[in-house]
């Protein structure tokens, strides 16, 4: 069956106390509403509608890449009112699935379970039984166990308040009936709102089957109203992600101390020590080890590479069997070939480092193309910036660069060359040449040391 998916995101979110729209606050590094859109997008034959209102420009601007039909709900008057504004865009056949922009952890598998039950004469509700149902709409059933209505907390009788089965808000309704039901909604209730949930009683009256599905876990249907709930869902998601990494063959020295804000793909026997942060898309090859307190963002790390503690890697590609850190910083555009070594307090940027080359201590290597088996002495830097433009440093294979060398770009050092320690290199160094570019040492005999006056 074809599907319209409506994501409600017009609410005020005042308890967030934020200039940012509630649904743009992030869980696991991704805006809540973007998580919902991404999940919805995985469902077959679906057309997305995003209902925006309060801070709607922000929401619209941040979700453009999903090409959802943006429906404005200025002056929101309830969930039923929201659906009514989408009604003109709904397909004639099929069904409409309603989701919430502030319920970010809903799973595609649960939604698929719902859609598998959908027919032109069936309404599917996602419900859950809660020990503490306060605040939720209650699922009212007949003596035969059939759902007959949803009653909102504020409109419920004493006996209805005792019902533990609640409405998660997520429901799937057949379009052939939905249009009529939406048109018939009224706001004669405790909140003076148009309740989407009033369509349940109409469906029961019209002889439509009302079936219920339960989510796999409570977190799937948990909504975020304030930053305390946001933090709770963040922990929940991190814990789920940690479990799935371990199930895929990664060792986490403490699964409660890892943060994945995006997508982390791990090969077999990856070992991750505590307090590491992974952002964007990070791929760790087989046997990769990541030490404590590392921060990796949008990077690929080859098999058996070891990243020691307190290393930061961004927008970089690292080969196999490399050795990085501790305290290394690989900035965007760094490419390390296999077996390269980047040691402590080394910063690289837009730098290609060839196979087996070593930059072991206290260096800055930027805008550089470096060949294989180069040894870069401690304290060596590329002077890549003249105050206006960036320039390239090219170092061929098997070069030896003495400690504390400045390579003033643009400059080339040819294959097999050697640079004496402390040199300031401003001119090309030829193949196998030795370059000295420092003041010659002068020694004076019998130097009289100063004496105390």
**Could you say which of 3, 11, 382, 399 contacts ligand UD1 (CB under 6 A)?**
11
Among 73, 334, 363, 393, binds ligand UD1 (CB under 6 A): 73
d(CA 302, CA 245): 18
Active-site residue, 25 included: no
Task: Identify which range of 40-48, 97-105, 211-219, 414-422 contacts ligand UD1 by CB under 6 A.
Answer: 97-105
Nearest distance in Å: CB 201, ligand UD1: 12
Take residue 338 and report the two structure tokens written for it.
């296999």
**How many binding residues for ligand UD1 (CB under 6 A)?**
27
Q: Does 312 bind ligand UD1 (CB under 6 A)?
A: no
Contact between 22 and 11 (Cβ < 8 Å): yes
Exactly one of 56, 94, 104, 137 binds ligand UD1 (CB under 6 A); that residue is: 137
Virtual torsion, Cα 101, 106, 111, 112, nearest 10 deg: 130
Strand order in the sheet with 418-419: 250-252, 270-272, 289-290, 306-307, 323-324, 341-344, 358-361, 375-376, 400-401, 418-419, 434-435
Task: Classify residue 103 by burial, with Cβ atoms within 10 Å: 0-12, 13-18, 19+.
Answer: buried
195 lies in the site for ligand UD1, by CB under 6 A:
yes
Euclidean distance between CA atoms 233 and 106, whole angstroms:
11
For the bound state, the minimum distance from the C-beta of residue 364 to ligand UD1, rounded and expressed in Å, comes to 48
Does residue number 82 form part of the binding site for ligand UD1 (CB under 6 A)? Answer: yes
Cβ closest to ligand UD1, residue 11 vs residue 215: 11
Residue numbers 401-440 binding ligand UD1 by CB under 6 A: none
Please give the structure tokens belonging to residue 431: 């193949």
d(CA 209, CA 358): 70
Shortest distance in whole angstroms from residue 68 CB to ligand UD1 = 14
Residue of 3, 4, 6, 8 interacting with ligand UD1 (CB under 6 A): 8
Tell me which of 33, 40, 51, 260 binds ligand UD1, using CB under 6 A. Answer: 51
* DSSP letter, residue 226: S
Q: Decide if residue 127 touches ligand UD1 (CB under 6 A).
A: no
Instruction: Between 78 and 319, name the residue whose CB sits nearer to ligand UD1.
Output: 78
The one among 55, 79, 368, 393 contacting ligand UD1 by CB under 6 A: 79
Which tokens hold the place of 9? Answer: 């995101």
36 binds ligand UD1 (CB under 6 A): no
Q: How far is the CB of 239 from ligand UD1 (least distance, A)?
A: 22
Is there binding between residue 150 and ligand UD1 (CB under 6 A)? yes
β-strands 270-272, 289-290 pairing: parallel
- At residue 417, φ and ψ (nearest 5 deg) are -75, 160
Window of 27-35, 73-81, 116-124, 310-318 that interacts with ligand UD1 by CB under 6 A: 73-81
Which one of the listed residues 25, 295, 361, 391 is annotated catalytic? 361
Helix, strand, coil percentages (3-state) for the chain, rounded to 5, are 20, 35, 45
Q: Which of 311, 298, 313 has its CA nearest to residue 264?
A: 298
By CB under 6 A, tell whether 104 contacts ligand UD1.
no
Which phi and psi (to 5°) does residue 257 adopt? -125, 60
If DSSP codes are grouped into helix, strand and coil, which group holds residue 232? helix
Q: How far is the CB of 202 from ligand UD1 (least distance, A)?
A: 14
Does 100 bind ligand UD1 (CB under 6 A)? Our answer is: yes
230: contact with ligand UD1 by CB under 6 A: no
Answer for which of 56, 78, 215, 291 binds ligand UD1 (CB under 6 A) is 78
**What residues have CB less than 8 Å from 389, skipping those under 6 apart?**
none
Q: How far is the CB of 411 from ligand UD1 (least distance, A)?
A: 59
* 211 class by beta-carbon count within 10 Å (0-12 exposed, 13-18 middle, 19+ buried): middle
Q: Which is nearer to ligand UD1, 126 or 374 (CB)?
A: 126
Q: Rule CB under 6 A: which residues touch ligand UD1?
A: 8-11, 51, 73, 76-79, 81-82, 100-102, 136-137, 150, 152, 166-169, 195-197, 223
């Amino acid at each position: 069956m074809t599907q319209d998916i409506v994501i409600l995101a017009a609410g005020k979110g005042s308890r967030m106390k934020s200039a940012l729209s509630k649904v743009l606050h992030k869980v696991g590094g991704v805006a809540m509403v973007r998580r919902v859109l991404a999940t919805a997008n995985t469902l077959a034959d679906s057309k997305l509608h995003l209902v925006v209102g309060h801070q709607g420009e922000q929401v619209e601007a941040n979700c453009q890449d999903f090409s959802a039909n943006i429906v404005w709900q200025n002056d929101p008057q309830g969930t039923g009112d929201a659906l009514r504004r989408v009604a003109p865009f709904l397909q004639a056949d099929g069904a409409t699935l309603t989701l919430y922009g502030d319920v970010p952890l809903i799973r595609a598998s649960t939604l698929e379970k719902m859609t598998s039950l959908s027919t032109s004469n069936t309404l599917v509700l996602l419900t859950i039984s809660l020990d503490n149902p306060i605040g939720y709409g209650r699922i009212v059933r007949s003596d035969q166990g059939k759902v007959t209505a949803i009653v909102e907390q504020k409109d419920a009788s004493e006996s209805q308040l005792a019902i533990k089965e609640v409405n998660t808000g997520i429901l799937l309704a057949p379009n052939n009936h939905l249009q009529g039901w939406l048109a018939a909604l009224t706001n004669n209730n405790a909140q003076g709102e148009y309740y989407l949930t009033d369509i349940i009683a109409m469906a029961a009256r019209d002889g439509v089957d009302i079936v219920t599905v339960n989510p796999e876990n409570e977190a799937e249907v948990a909504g975020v109203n304030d930053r305390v709930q946001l933090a709770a869902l963040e922990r929940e998601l991190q814990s789920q992600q940690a479990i799935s990494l371990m199930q895929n063959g990664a060792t986490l020295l403490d699964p409660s101390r890892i943060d994945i804000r995006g997508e982390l793909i791990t090969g077999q026997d990856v070992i991750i020590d505590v307090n590491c942060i992974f952002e964007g898309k990070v791929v760790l090859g087989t046997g990769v080890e990541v030490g404590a307190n590392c921060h990796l963002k949008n990077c690929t790390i080859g098999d058996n590479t070891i990243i020691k503690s307190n290393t930061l890697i961004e927008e970089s590609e690292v080969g196999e069997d490399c050795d990085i850190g501790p305290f290394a910083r690989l900035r965007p555009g760094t490419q390390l070939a296999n077996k390269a070594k980047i040691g402590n307090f080394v910063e690289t940027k837009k730098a290609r480092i060839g196979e087996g080359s070593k930059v072991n201590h206290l260096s800055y290597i930027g805008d550089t193309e470096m060949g294989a088996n180069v040894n870069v002495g401690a304290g060596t830097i590329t002077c890549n910036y003249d105050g206006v433009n960036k320039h390239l440093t090219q170092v061929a294979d098997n070069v030896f660069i003495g400690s504390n060398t400045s390579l003033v770009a643009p400059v080339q050092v040819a294959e097999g060359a050697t640079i004496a320690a402390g040199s300031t290199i401003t001119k090309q160094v030829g193949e196998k040449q030795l370059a000295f570019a420092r003041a010659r040492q002068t020694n004076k005999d019998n130097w009289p040391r100063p004496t105390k006056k």
